[in-house]
Chains A and B, each alone.
Chain A
Amino acid sequence: MSSTDSGFPRRTLLAGGLSAAGAWWLGSGCRRTPSITGSFAGPDMSRGHQLLDGAPPTAGPERDVPVAILGGGIAGLSAAWRLARAGFHDFELHELESRIGGTSVSGSNAISAYPWGAHYLPVPVREQRAVCELLEELGLLQGFDARGRALIPETALVRAPQSRLFYMGSWSEGLYCIDGASREDLVQWERFEQRMREFAERRDEQGRPWFALPLARCSPDARALELDRISFAQWLAGEGFDSPRLLWMAEYACRDDYGCSHRETSAWAGIFYFASREASSGASDSEFLTWPEGNAFLAEALARHAQGRIRTGALIRRIEPRDGIVRVESSAGALRCEQAICALPRFVLQRVLDGLEAERGRFRYSPWVTANLSLSGTPASRGASLAWDNVLHESESLGYVVATHQSDRTDPRSVWTWYRPLVQSDVAATRQALLRSRWEDWRDEVMRDLSRAHPDLDRHVQQIDVWRWAHAMVRPEPGFRTDPVRQVAAQPRGRLYFAHTDLSGLSLFEEAQWQGVRAAESVLSARGIPFESWSGI
C-alpha cells in the first residue's frame, strides 16, 4: 500500500510533464482531462454546520406528534415501514437532507441512475425475517431452498460476470487472482477458505451462530468475543498466514466493508466479512441483489409506506427525553412526542442529546469519497471483460461498480461509481483535509487511478461528480464490539429509542433495517399495538 500521509491525491507531476513533452514531441497526445465537467455533489455542509454554530431556537408553537422518527437513512425508514406495516400511521419522519436514504442515497442523470453509497444486498436467509418481508413485498422473493436461503428471480441478481481484478497489466475474472500465484499462495488461500467455512458453521451451545447478520443473532460466546481484542492483521499473523495475495484480500475486505485497514479492524469484524456471507449462502459463491440506483431502490420502497409523513430539509437540533414525553426541536418545528425513534448517527446525536459525554471518541468514523463518472462509451481493457464490480490490485481505491450492468439497452453510455475509503488512522486530520480538498484534485485522482487499467479512459469520460462522506461509516476497531459504552448507547432512554448501524459497528443494510424494525417494535409494544415480531425480540 503506497498511501501518502494525508491520503490525498498528489498532482501527478510526472504525467503532467510528460504530456507537455508529448505535445511538443508529437503535436498531439494531450490528456483531455480539462474538458471533463463535474462538481462536488453531496450533503449540504451548511445545514449540518448549523448544529455547530448554535442556530436560533425553533420558532412557532409546539406540535403534538404521537411518534417521531429522527433521521431518514435505512434505519429510520425501516422504523417507519415497520410501524406502517403494523397499521400504525401516526408518525412523522424528519430528515436533514433534501433526499431520503442517508448513506444509501442515489443520484441520476440523462444516462442512468447511480448510487452514491450503498449499492447491493446479499441474498438473505430465512432468519433475516425483515429483509425477507421487504423482498416479498417487492415481488422479489420466490420461496426458500433446502438450506433456508431465499430464492430470488434471476433477473434481480447481479449478472455474470460479477467481478474482475486488474493485476499486472490485465484483468482477470474473480477477486482472488490465481494467475501467477505460487504453490504456497494457493495452499494458504485454501486453508484460509477452510478456516472461514469453519467459522461460518460455528454455533454455540444454544445453537447461535458466531457470525451472522444482524449482530443481535450472533453468539455472545466468550471465545468468539476474544476475537474482538486483536486486529485482523494480528489474527492472520498468529495463524501463520503471510501470503501477499491473501493479505491483500484481507486488506481489501476491510477497506470494502469498513473503510479501514485490516491492521485497525478487529479480527472479529475481519472474519465477519468472509464468514457471515458463507453462513448465509452455504456455498462459496455469494449472490447479490443490485439496482442501477443501488440500495436507494430499497430506501424508496421503504419510504413509500411513509408517504406524506416525511419532512426533508429538517435539521434535528435538540432531543429532550422528559417525564412521560420526548421533546424534539427540529428546524421543521418543535414536537412533543409520546415516543421517538432516533435514527441519527452517533456523532450527530452527541451534539443534540445531553448525557453522552462518556461516549465521546468511542465512535470513530472513516471518511470516504465516491465519484460517479459519466461515460460516452466503454473504455478499452485487456483481459477479462467488464464486470459489475471492477477492482484494481495496486490501488488505494476499491475500483468501480457499473450502474448499467443489469440493463439491456443498446445505449453504449454508462455511469461508473468509483469508491475510495480514506483509511488513515488519524481520522480527524484526514476529515479536515477532505473538507479542504478541491474537485479538481479528485478528478485527477480518479483519472490517474483508472487510466492505468483503461489507457483510453479520457476519450470516454465526460463528467465526474464527487461526493465527500466526512463520516461514512463507524469503524469496528479492536474492542468496539465488546465496549460497554456501545452497549449502553443502544439502551432506550425513557420513551426515546435508538436505531442506527453505528450501534453495531457493521454498516450494512440488514443491520440498519433490523435496528429500525427493533426500535419500531419497541414502540408498538409500548403502545399496546399487536404485531408479529420481525426482529426476534
Chain B
Amino acid sequence: MRLGLVYLTVIIIAACGLGYELVAGALSSYLLGDSVTQFSLTIGLYLFAMGIGAWLSRYVQRNLVSRFVDIELAVALAGGTSAMVLHLAHGRGIWFRPVLYGEIVLIGTLVGLEIPLLMRILKDELDFRELVAQVLSLDYVGALVVSLSFPLLFVPNLGVVKSAIAFGLVNAAVGLWSTWIFAQRLGAVGWLRAKSLAVIGVLAACLWGADAFTGRLEGLMYGDEVVLAKSTPYQRIVVTSNERGFQLYLNGALQFASADEYRYHEALVHPAFVARPQARRVLVLGGGDGLAVREILKHPQVERVTLVDIDPEMTRLAREYEPLVTLNARALHDPRVELVHEDALGWLATRRGLHDIAIVDFPDPSHYAIGKLYTAAFYQRLTENLAPDGVMAIQSTSPLFARRAFWCIVRTVESAQLTALPYHVFLPSFGEWGFVLAARQQLSVPKAANGELISGLRYLDGPTLSALFHLGPDMQPVPVEPNRLDEQRLVRYYEEDWRELD
C-alpha cells in the first residue's frame, strides 16, 4: 500500500465532504434568503449528521475496503446531484425545506462514515498515535482547501450546480482508485470497478446536461412550457406557451397573455383617441411588443407613430417572431412606424417635436431603473414633447392589488402640473388593471361621439368605455406621496403592496 496516495485520498474526501456542505449552505441562503440562519442551520445539521455517520461506522464489520468504496460512490451520487435536487425541490413549494434538510442529513451521515472507515483500514499499517495525527490533520487541510477554493474558483467558474457535480465526480474517482490502492485487501475487484464507472458515467451525464437543466428550471418557474428565452443587456425575455396561447414575460413578470391582451391594449389606447379624435402624431414609450401600435394603427388619420423601447431585441421579436408578428398584425412593419432604441427619459430630454397622444406602457415599477420612468421629472419632460392639447395614457399597475402604487402614479402626474383621470379594466390573466389619462387641460370622462367607437374592437364599445372610468369603493384613493427621481417612493409602495398581498 502506498501511504502517500492514501494521504492524498484523505485530503480529497475531506475537501469534497466540506464542499457539499458549502453547496447546501449557499443554495439554501440563495433560495431562502437570510444567509446567517441558513448557513448556521446547514453547518449544525451537517456536523450532527457526520456524528451519526461516525457512530454508525461501528456496525460495519467485514469487508471494510469494499464498504468504503460503496460509501464513496453513495456520497458521489447523493452529493453530486444535491444541487440539482435542491433546485428541483424549490419549484415545489413546501417540499423544499424537508428535501433540503433530508439531503443535508443524508450526505452528512455518509461523509461521517468515510474517515472512521479509512482509519480502521489503515490501523494495521501505522501505529495509532501516528494514524490519528496524520489522518485528522490532513482532514482539516482538505477542509481549508475547499473552503478557499469554493467561493474563489468553483462558484465563479462553474456555478453551484456544476460544482456539486464536480465534487461528486472526484468522490467517485476516489472510489475507483481505492480499488487499486487497497487491491491486496480486496478479493474480486471487477464488480466494484464496474459500479464506480457507472457512477462516474451518471455524473458525467449530469455535468453534460447541467446547462440544459438550468434552462429547464426556468420552465418550472413559469409553470408553462418555455418556447423562447433570451437575455439582453436590459432584461430577460421569456415566451411560454400553453393551450390558451402564448405569454410574454420580462424579468419574470408577465407582460401579456395572447388570450386576453386585447382587453388591455384596447383600454390602454382608445380612450386617449376618444379624447383626441384628430390625433395624427403618436408617441409610444415602452411597448416594444407592437401590440399598442396595432391598436393605434386602427385609427386611419394617424400619420406617424414613434416607438421608443430601450431593447432592440424586443422590437426584433415583434418584427420577426412569428406568433408575435401575427398577434400584432405586423404593426412594426408599417411604414408610419419609426423605431427608436434609447432610454426614454434620456430621449425625452431633447425636444423631439410635439405629439398629440403619448402611450406610456412600461413594465411595473418593481425596481429603480423602471421607477424613474414614473417620476414627476419624466412626466414633465414628456409634456414638453406633447402638443398643447395633447393627451397621455399611462399603464399604472393594479388599483386593487397595488393600490398605493396606483394612486402614487396619479399623484405624481398631478405634481407635474397635469390633470389625471384614472380608469381600470379587468382581464383574466392580470385581474383588475389600472391606467391614467393625463393632459394639461381639464379632462372629462371621454364619451364616444354619437355613442360609437371605431370598428374592429373586441372589448370596447360606448357603454363599456364609460364604465372604465368608474372606480368602485375598494379602488378609491389612499393617501400617498408623489414619486420623484431623488426619492422613488413608488418602488417602495409597489413592493409593500405586493408583499401584503402574499
Contacts and interface: CB of A to CB of B under 8 A. Distances in A.
Contacts of A18: 148-149, 152-153
B149 A25 contact: yes
A456 B156 contact: yes
B233 A412 contact: yes
Contacts of B148: 14, 18
A154 B157 contact: no
A22 B158 CA distance: 13
Contacts of B487: 160, 285
Nearest to A458: B156
Contacts, number: 80
A410 interface: yes
Prevailing SS type, chain A contact patch: loop
Contact of B485 (A21, A22, A159, A407): A159
B177 interface: no
Interface string A8-41: 0000001100110110011011000000000000
Given A159-B485, A159-B486, A160-B488, A410 B342 contact: yes
B486 A28 contact: no
A256 B487 CA distance: 23
Contacts of B152: 15, 18-19, 22, 29
A408 B376 contact: no
B41 to A, nearest CB: 16
A161 B368 contact: yes
A49 interface: no
A157 B485 contact: yes
A385 B486 CA distance: 15
Contacts of B349: 408
A170 interface: yes
Interface string A385-414: 100000000000000000000011110100
A523 interface: no
B345 A22 contact: no
A387 to B, nearest CB: 9
B343 A408 contact: yes
B157 A28 contact: yes
Interface string A157-174: 111111000001110000
A455 interface: yes
A154 B484 CA distance: 7
Nearest to B482: A154
A18 B341 CA distance: 44
B485 A154 contact: yes
Contacts of B346: 407-410
Given A21-B149, A25-B149, A26-B157, A155 B35 contact: no
A26 B162 CA distance: 13
Contact of B375 (A14, A154, A180, A285): A154
B408 to A, nearest CB: 14
B418 to A, nearest CB: 15
Closest 5 CB pairs of A and B: A408-B346, A157-B486, A160-B488, A408-B343, A408-B345
Given A29-B157, A157-B485, A410-B346, 10 more contacts: A15-B152, A22-B149, A25-B149, A157-B486, A169-B35, A287-B486, A385-B368, A409-B343, A412-B233, A455-B156
Interface of B: 35-36, 148-149, 151-153, 155-157, 233-234, 310, 341-347, 349, 367-369, 371-372, 375-377, 484-488, 491
